[in-house]
Amino acid sequence: MMNGLASKRLTVCLIALLTTLMWGVNPSSAQSTDGVGVTLQPPVQAARLYTPNTLGEQFNSTINTINGVIGIAMFFDVAGGAFLQPVTDDDGNLVYEMNPVYHIVDQAMPGYVLNGAGDFKTGPDGKRLIVTLQPGERTQRVDSQGDLITNKGDVREDGPTLPFTVLFLAGGAIFFTFWYGWINIRGFKHAIDIVRGKFTRDDDPGDVSPFRALTSALSATVGLGNIAGVAIAVKTGGPGAIFWMMFLGLFGMTAKFHESTLGQMFRKQNEDGTISGGPMFYLDSGLKRMGPGFGMFGRLLAIIFALFCMGGALGGGNMFQANQSFEGFYSAFVEQPSVAENKLKKLSGDELRLLLTDKQLTTVMTDEQKNANTPLEDVRLGLTEKMMRSLVHPIQVERTLPPEQVKVDAEQRGNLRKNVSYGFGLLMATLVAVVVIGGITRIGAATSKIVPVMCLIYVLGCLIVIVFNLKEIPGHVRLIFIEAFKWDSAFGGFIGVMILGFKRAAFSSEAGLGSSAIAHSAAKQAYPVREGFVASLEPFIDTIIICFMTAMVVLITDAYAAPELMDEVNGTAITLYAFEQTQVGAWFPYVLSVSIILFAFSTMISWCYYGERAYGYLFGHKTVLLFRILFVICVFIGSVASLGPVLDFSDLMILSMAFPNILGGLFLVSMVRRSLREYWSRFKSGEFSHGSGSGDI
């Protein structure tokens, strides 16, 4: 716990950090890089390297650096690039990496300025800005034509990698399942009975009922991973990725059992009477029982987990959720078509035909046309107006419009988006603040109502689609199995599809990450193992049932292969499109958009609890209000900002939680198995009855 001096120091540090982010500009970037007013004549031989200048640029630069370090340490390719393949262009030629040529300026000279995307900055007149490059500056070389000089590097490679943390997470879940004798299957019915309250008493120690603990944990896992993550998995890796998502979800049930049992075993009561638990506590206290050396190791793992958990709470559990919920709300209820989109609707078939690119034509060629080497012009002439309208992008139409008209339209739509995002962010932040400041009791009460309702709405929508297309289900299920083991597949073959499925399953169910153990630690439960059974239901509901339903909707409608979604990377948009093509009609995407907001809201309030428990472990619970305030501020930031590298940071933080959680948990498996054997023996003997039981196993 923190004393008064420590609390003041922490407050000062947070203020200093925020001040630095708001006002801190390094000396080199404080100098003007716009080049306005500089009158130097070409020839220009170099370009100043991009230096983060604004608050947002500096923030992104810092996050990118952190992402790189974590990526190297935690997500290196265990396979050593064995599954990477050389990249070729459309003509079958190898594609090479083009490396920039750097130059150290030895005397003052004119130079261009590059922006964050590596493009040349321009002034109001549209011409490239020129600045004075100072001796000692590291720049990029420019040729006589004004283009950046590059050298041909190695052949570019692409394909699946085998990230260490993902492999470690999957391996841990599989190990736990065999170690505990497939308790995820043997104890399934018993888990349902516990959630129904058959074995719970009002005087059991804890803050919330097992059902509310389950809904609190589910509120953090059931969400965008089930809606957007599944669609992206199918689009990127094909139908086979769903098999591997469900495969890991099955083993993930035991991982949840393991970590939530430990969470109950080593939970602690705070001074205010609330309960704290989770990996921070069982890694610290559990390994300490094994000896002094293990105690230090456990403490280190607990600190690492807590830091990752806080980062995941603010990023993936907060800003990403707020950002995606705003995107869903804005696109469904507010967004207006651009001038290019309106123009596209009015174009005739002949006008559309002229806009089609060779790449678009190649995409829609049939196998017969490919085998016959049909000329692209013949393909163009054979397309229907409906097909052409689905292929042509608004950006293609935009290039044919007057630039001033496009600029004015973009400014108007940008201002509308900005103003709506401010209002949405403030409203969402206020609603989150009202709930999270109440703690786990209020969180449990809120999620116990929100989660069942939003799950019911979404599942009913999926069921309607599935029932109306019942005859197609066996064929799609068969396709999933075939594609799961197909060596020549969309994402680098069998290994690639499996890895992609494992990644999406980890984000969907969070099994092995240790996050839900924090919520289950607060459940009213006389026996730690009993709460482990409750937790084991999460991956079944989340990854096996709901993800499978989403997959069926995407496969039935062929949304993952739709030409109009060829370049779509937003999984939510793919799922919304899929529902628009079904019997539920065009109205359901509006309902789904509301569900997405509820999914995101429930995820945020649960992840705030996870983050504050991690914060409390590191800094004490007396100042936990500071974390809640920071969390609420991040809700607003996520709604109004273009997150960029924050999304990568969120993914890394959340997945990295698995490493200390599983590594430390492997040392504690014997302890859990002893408790399981004793509990299961007493249960099978009929010792437990409705509302019975006390003590601690």
Helix (H) or strand (E) holding 103: strand 102-104
pLDDT above 70: residue 672: yes
* Per-residue model confidence as pLDDT tens digits over 354-389: 888 888 888 788 888 888 888 888 888 888 888 888
Q: How many residues does the chain have?
A: 697
Q: With pLDDT > 70 as the criterion, what percentage of the chain qualifies?
A: 81
Do residues 607 and 601 touch, judged by C-beta distance below 8 A?
no
Residue that wins the pLDDT comparison between 290 and 213: 290
Of 134-143, 195-204, 523-532, the poorest mean pLDDT is in: 195-204
Do residues 648 and 66 touch, judged by C-beta distance below 8 A?
no
The pTM of this model reads 0.78
Distance CA 600, CA 562 (A): 27
Neighbours of 13 (CB within 10 A): 10
* Per-residue model confidence as pLDDT tens digits over 283-304: 999 999 887 789 899 999 999 9
Distance CA 550, CA 556 (A): 10
pLDDT above 90: residue 280: yes
* Per-residue model confidence as pLDDT tens digits over 380-433: 888 888 888 878 888 888 888 888 898 898 889 888 988 999 999 999 998 888
Helix (H) or strand (E) holding 110: strand 109-113
Residue 651 identity: D
Do residues 383 and 563 touch, judged by C-beta distance below 8 A?
no
